[in-house]
A = this chain, B = another copy of it.
Amino acid sequence: MKDHSDLACTNVHSAIQDTLYVVNGKWKLLLLSILINEGTKRFGELARASGISPRILSKELHELELNQLVSRQVCPTKPVTVEYSATPYAGTLKEVIDAMIRWGQRHKQKLVRS
């Protein structure tokens, strides 16, 4: 209600859309949350922790890597393993993720009460 020029509104609207574009879909914020809160994980660990099928997981991780939110490191183990980590830049999304976690928890409690 305060700063209400058309320009300011447009910026706010497109800022939301820009964020949604980067973290679209059912899985990206969940994956980032896991990597941020639990640290580096391998492909199989992420699949088990999230319940995402390999095909989707591979695609989501690739998209997150393109946006520099996740880094991928191949480890010379036998058999080879691949470690995925949240980048420092992903940390800037923590504010969004934490807000969503808090809201989801409160929302569930509200549903239980009513």
Which A residues form the contact surface with B (CB < 8 A)? Answer: 1, 4, 9, 11-20, 22, 26, 29-30, 33-34, 37-39, 49-50, 89, 92-93, 95-97, 99-108, 110
Knowing that A9-B38, A12-B33, A15-B101 touch, tell me 5 more A-B residue pairs with CB under 8 angstroms: A14-B108, A16-B101, A17-B30, A17-B104, A19-B104
Q: Which residues of the partner chain B approach A13 to less than 8 Å between Cβ atoms?
A: 30, 33-34, 49-50
Copies of this chain in the oligomer: 2
Chain A contact residues: helix, strand, loop or mixed:
helix
Q: How far is A81 from B58 in the complex, measured between Cα atoms in Å?
A: 48
Nearest-neighbour CB distance to chain B for A88, whole angstroms, equals 12
Q: How far is A39 from B18 in the complex, measured between Cα atoms in Å?
A: 22
Q: Which residues of the partner chain B approach A99 to less than 8 Å between Cβ atoms?
A: 95-96, 99
The answer to whether B22 and A107 have CB atoms under 8 Å apart is: yes
Q: Which residues of the partner chain B approach A26 to less than 8 Å between Cβ atoms?
A: 17, 20
Instruction: Choose from B4, B15, B37 the contact partner of A104 (Cβ within 8 Å).
Output: B15
